[in-house]
Amino acid sequence: MAKITEVVDMEKQGGVAVIMINNPPVNALSVGVRKGMVDGMKAAGGDDSVKAVVIACGGRTFIAGADITEFGKAPQEPGLDVAFDLIENSAKPVIAAMHGTALGGGLETAMVCHYRVSTPSAKFGQPEVNLGLIPGAGGTQRLPRIVGVQKAIDLCAGGGQIGVEEALKEGLIDEMIEGDLVAGAVAFAKKVIAEGRPLRKIRDRNEKIEAAKGKAEIFAEARKAYGKSKRGFEAPQANIDAVEAAVNQSFEDGIKKERELFMKLMTGSQSAAQRHVFFAERECAKIPDVPADTPQLPVNKVGIIGAGTMGGGIAMNCANVGIPVKIMEVNQQLLDKGLGVCRRNYENTASRGRITMDDVEKRMSLIKGTLTLDDFADVDMVIEAVYENMDLKKEIFAKLDKICKPGAILGSNTSGLNINEIASATSRPESVIGLHFFSPANVMRLLEVVRGEKTAKNVIATSMAFGRRIQKIPALVGVCQGFVGNRMLRQRGRETQKMILEGALPQQIDKVIFDFGFAMGPFAMSDLSGLDIGWKRGESKGETLRDRLCEAGRLGQKTNAGYYDYQPGSRTPIPSPLVEKMIKDYAAEKNIPQRAITDDEILEKSLYPMINEGAQILEEGIAIRPSDIDVIWIYGYNWPIYRGGPMFYADLVGLKKIYDKMLEFQAREGDIWKPSALLEKLAKEGKGFKDFRR
């Protein structure tokens, strides 16, 4: 093999030049790859003994896209367009040989080749939309010309992938290669030469886009559907615009339109946020003092205590990936109820066609009920998911200490209690860890892994890996009340409650938060979860507004009344004149002056105290990085991804602006608004959370 650049080699196999890219981990199209393709194509073009070219990759995948780390930096020559011109206009056939995931710029590279072959397990997609972008190297123009308009819209605006079967059917690949891919691709190339097959250019093919010409309704419908399922995101709409240009404009004009849209998104804040989230998610897996090669414990059997909503959801997570679970309840009735809910959830998923009834049975057969903790003697990990009561949890952990085998991980799904105190009930605090799932546990992606003072490193490494195995995004946090997510949420709750007593209505606040991009505002959220969480009828004395709502039987959606009214069977909140009166009466009784509160103030007062608490959390070392906090809010609380998480958003607003606003509120409303030392320091230094180093 002759080296062309550090990351690209070339060798001749008979009359076929094989350009081999080796740019780990995912063969992204970094400058060295682009240069290698340019020089390789030039060399192959100038060598009379070369009759065809194969482009292939070493390692785990074909090119998985442009190098995202280069985005936002000064462009380096040669551009991808130079390589693409050489490939597409080559006088010798060029064949892409794909394995793994041919994504983004990778699929675009394949589409400028004249032919494409792949392994049986390869996957293909244009996931740029997930980074707030559109394909920027012809993907929106070439893909519809092969797979048709509707599929191209779905792949570009939806960001999904297709497998080989579909790719073969659509003509995206010409042949599937069993066995050695490069050898198969070379053989295919020889066949192309021997048969004198034409140099096919996708750009010249119009048969699959013809029928959609002038049919604005196809695109209007797609815009509507994606406007709903991806509310607030700019990129899906831009992807649809680009595919529409492919249909109605010349190839050259379509490419121009694509470039224009790509550059607009690339320099905008949504893509910056989504690219931040991409890296934040991966960074979150890295723990400075727990290296990636830390030995892990086996997790082949899991025990769950409590078959309520949380316990059942956690059991489903395990069964989904084939881990057998024993789930314990205090009596048969509760156990049957819990198992029944798991089955119903699975059956609902099956009725939507996402799994088969066979899968339902297989998964349910992995979840076994028990009425005694003694059955947990052989499990590798226990996850306790009973209600939040320290005495009860300690009692359970003391029992587990006696029953479970040495080395078993003892996890608690507490949403805020002190893990160190729970661990103190055992003789093995090194095995105790918090595993905080978010409701509904079978849906929400976040897992806060809570490290106690004495938790062993292999227990942390195993718990993080277990989280990934059950398809969660684990984030490691330290012990404090409410950990990271709920501790920050409390700050927002405090201010939104205050604002409704000062003159804002629940519906005004909820609309501001909804328009910001959350799925719902705090009051609609309270109605959904139930106002009576942690409220006791016998002890309630009407001291808070919440007390009064609960005392009036307004417990939320379940009673068709909470902060809002609900029609029976409907989840649509209707502003309630009665609640408005209750709020006004309460405020009058407490002598709280009323004023008009602007939407801007609502947003600032909802988000700034969370950001300040996030800074405090970083200062205390409870979260490792600001980007971990972003991941927690995105995957645990549905913070809109296109706003990058609270800490990223804070940098976008500017810490100085937030700091000044906090001082203004502090002067007016007291020390609850005192900025944290870290926020103050970064703001005064003109820095952002992105500059934070421990």
Provide the minimum distance between the beta carbon of 61 and ligand 3H9 in the complex, in angstroms, as a whole number: 6
Binding string to ligand 3H9 for residues 110 to 149, with x set by CB under 6 A, is what? -----------------xx--x---xxx-x----------
Query: Which region, judged by CB under 6 A, interacts with ligand 3H9, from 67-75, 289-297, 581-589, 617-625?
Result: 67-75
| Least gap, CB of 545 to ligand 3H9 (angstroms) | 46
Build a one-symbol-per-residue string for 44-63: x at contacts with ligand 3H9 by CB under 6 A, - elsewhere.
Answer: -----------------x--
> Which tokens go with 623?
């979260």
- Examine residue 82 and tell whether it contacts ligand 3H9 (CB under 6 A): no
Pick the closest to residue 109 from 27, 50, 166 (CA basis): 27
Residue 328 is a binding residue for ligand 3H9 (CB under 6 A): no
Among 19, 20, 26, 419, binds ligand 3H9 (CB under 6 A): 26
Provide the strand spans (E) within 521-625: 564-565, 574-575
501 close to 592: Cβ distance less than 8 angstroms = yes
Q: What is the CB neighbour count within 10 angstroms for residue 351?
A: 11
- The residue (of 25 and 196) whose beta carbon lies closer to ligand 3H9 is 25
Say whether residue 506 binds ligand 3H9 (CB under 6 A).
no
Interface with ligand 3H9 includes 465 (CB under 6 A)? Answer: no
CB of 265 to ligand 3H9, least distance (A): 11
Q: Which of 571, 578, 572 is nearest to 554 (CA)?
A: 578
Q: What is the CA radius of gyration of the chain?
A: 29
Distance CA 161, CA 30 (A): 23
Distance CA 322, CA 423 (A): 29
Q: Which residues pair with 437 in a beta bridge?
A: 447
158 in contact with ligand 3H9 (CB under 6 A) = no
For ligand 3H9, the binding residue among 9, 39, 54, 67 (CB under 6 A) is 67
- Residue 474 is a binding residue for ligand 3H9 (CB under 6 A): no
Burial code of 425-443, b = ≥16 C-beta within 10 A, e = fewer?
bbebbbbbbbbbbbeebbe
The separation between CA 68 and the C-alpha centre of its own chain, rounded to angstroms, equals 17
Element counts in the chain: helices (H) and strands (E): 27, 20
170 as an active site residue: the answer is no
Is residue 128 part of the annotated active site? The answer reads yes
Distance, CA of 418 to CA of 148 (rounded, Å): 56
Question: Which one of residues 105, 144, 467, 645 is an interface residue with ligand 3H9 (CB under 6 A)?
Answer: 105
The single residue of 128, 258, 329, 448 carrying the catalytic annotation is 128
164 touches ligand 3H9 (CB under 6 A): no
Interface characters, 530-569, with ligand 3H9 (x: CB under 6 A): ----------------------------------------
Catalytic residue among 6, 70, 88, 108: 108
Neighbour order of strands in the sheet with 367-370: 367-370, 325-328, 302-305, 381-384, 409-412, 432-437, 446-451, 473-478
Shortest separation between residue 82's beta carbon and ligand 3H9, angstroms: 12
**Which residue in the set 5, 23, 90, 101 belongs to the binding site for ligand 3H9 (CB under 6 A)?**
101
Other beta carbons less than 10 A from residue 150's beta carbon: 14
- Interface contacts to ligand 3H9, rule CB under 6 A: 25-26, 28, 61, 64-69, 80, 101, 103-105, 108, 127-128, 131, 135-137, 139, 279, 282
Which residues are the active-site residues?
108, 128
